[in-house]
Amino acid sequence: MSENIFSTSSISLSKSAVRQNVRFVKKKLADNVLLSAVLKGNAYGHGIEFMVPLFESAGVRHLSVFSTQEAQQVCQVKKPTTDIMIMGWMEDEETEWAIKNGIEFYVFEMGRLKAAIHFAKLLNIKARIHIEVETGMNRTGFEENYLEEVIKVVKDNLDHITLEGLCTHYAGAESITNYLRVMDQIDTYKKIYKQFTENELIPKRKHTACSAAAMSYPETQMDMVRIGILLYGFWPSQETLIAYQRSNGYGQEGVRKVRHPLKRVISWRSKIMSVKEVPVGEFIGYGTSYQAPKKMKIATVPVGYAYGFARSLSNQGRVIVNGKRVAVISTVNMNLMIINVTECKNVGKGDEVILIGSTGKVKVTVASFGELSNQLNYELLSRLPIDIPRGVVI
C-alpha cells in the first residue's frame, strides 16, 4: 500500500484480475492483433504507476495515453521495451520530447504534423506518427478535404516520419442504436486507407477499435486494438455484455448463463468513523431528504463526494459492513456519508466498510453505482482521487 497511511480510505488492485482480463481479451482477438492497454484518466482511476507494471507482467507491451503528461508518468515506470502512444493532448513544443523519447503520437491537424516534421529534422530522429482521420465521430481527425495535402506532406517527409498507424474512433460502438453510424465509419475508414495505399503510403498498423468495437464488431480489430475498460474488469455497457453472452449461446434452450469472464481489478475500502442511535421521526443529515421511519442505528464513513463517492448516490448508494449490504442514507457530504447499520450486529468504530468490492457472495460493484446514479463506469472510476493510497494484492 502507498506510504501515505493517514487516509480515510484505500484502494487495492488485483494482479490476478489483470492477468485474467488480459488473457480474456487476447483470446477474443484475431491472430497477430496487437493489444494496446489504455491508461487515460489515471488508468481509469486505478493509478498509472501501479497499472503499468501490472499490464507488463501480464504480457502487454504497448500502452496508450491521452496526454504528454500521462506519457511522462508511464515513462517513469515502464520497461524500455514497452511502447507508448499519445492519443490526444500534446502542445506543439512537447512534440520534441515525444520524438526524443521514441513516443508514438496521433496527428490530427496540420499544425501538429508540421511540428513533428520540424522537430524530427532538428533532432535527426524520425517522428513516430499515427494519422487520425475523421470518419463520422466529428471530434478529432483529418477531414476528407485535408487528406490530399496530408498525404503529400507525409510522402515528402518520409526521411523524418515513420507512419506507425492510420486510425479513427467510433461514435458509440457500445450501443446498438449507433450500428448504422459505426458501419458507415468502417466503410469510410476503408476508403481512406485505400486512398493512402494508392499513394504508396502503407501504415504499419491499421487501428480503429476500442473495447466495445473489438467485442461487438470483430472486423474492426485490424492490426491493433486500444482496450481500456475491459482490462480493468468492466464491460463498456450492458449491451456489450449481453452481446457477448448471446454469442456464447446464453438464452438458447439448454444453455446455462455464461460465466462472467472478467474480474474486477479494483476494490475500495474505508472504516466506520462513529456509530449512534437516532429516534423515530428524526431527520438525518442535511435538510429533510431522510427521516428515520423507526429507531435506527447509523454510522458515519469518512468518504464523500470530494473522494469520488458521488453526491448523486445520496439515499441511493450501497456499501458492505460486516458481511451485509447496507444503504447510504441522507445527503452524501463533501467528506463523509451516513449509512444505515440498524441490522448489523456488533458494529462499531473502526469496522471495515467496503465501497467497491465483495465479501463472500455479497458485493458492491461500480456498475451498481452507475445504475443508481446514472453515471458511467468510466466516470465513476476516473473520478477516484489520485491521492487515495493504492496497493497491489495477489
Residue positions forming the annotated binding site for substrate:
139, 334
The H or E element containing residue 20 is helix 15-28
Dihedral (Cα; 139, 145, 148, 154), 10-degree rounding: -30
The candidate with the shortest Cα–Cα distance to 130, out of 162, 171, 95, is 162
Q: 390-393 and 337-340 as β-strands: parallel, antiparallel, unpaired?
A: unpaired
Q: What residue has cell string 431527520?
A: 283
* Nearest-angstrom CA–CA distance, 224 and 83: 13
> What letter does residue 142 receive in the DSSP assignment?
B
The grid coordinates listed for 370 are: 452507475
The grid coordinates listed for 30 are: 484475431
The counts of H helices and E strands in the chain are 12, 18
* Nearest-angstrom CA–CA distance, 373 and 357: 18
Query: Which amino acid type is present at position 23?
Result: R
Q: In this structure, are residues 130 and 180 in contact, taking their beta carbons and an 8 Å threshold?
A: no
Task: Output phi, psi for 142, to 5 deg.
Answer: -70, 130
The candidate with the shortest Cα–Cα distance to 211, out of 232, 228, 234, 186, is 228
Query: Which amino acid type is present at position 189?
Result: Y
* Nearest-angstrom CA–CA distance, 47 and 217: 29
* Nearest-angstrom CA–CA distance, 184 and 85: 26
The grid coordinates listed for 178 are: 449507433
Known binding residues: 139, 334
CA 100 → CA 54, 124, 368, distances in Å? 26, 9, 44
The candidate with the shortest Cα–Cα distance to 337, out of 8, 4, 44, 7, is 8
The grid coordinates listed for 119 are: 522537430
Rounded (5°) CA angle 43-45-50:
55
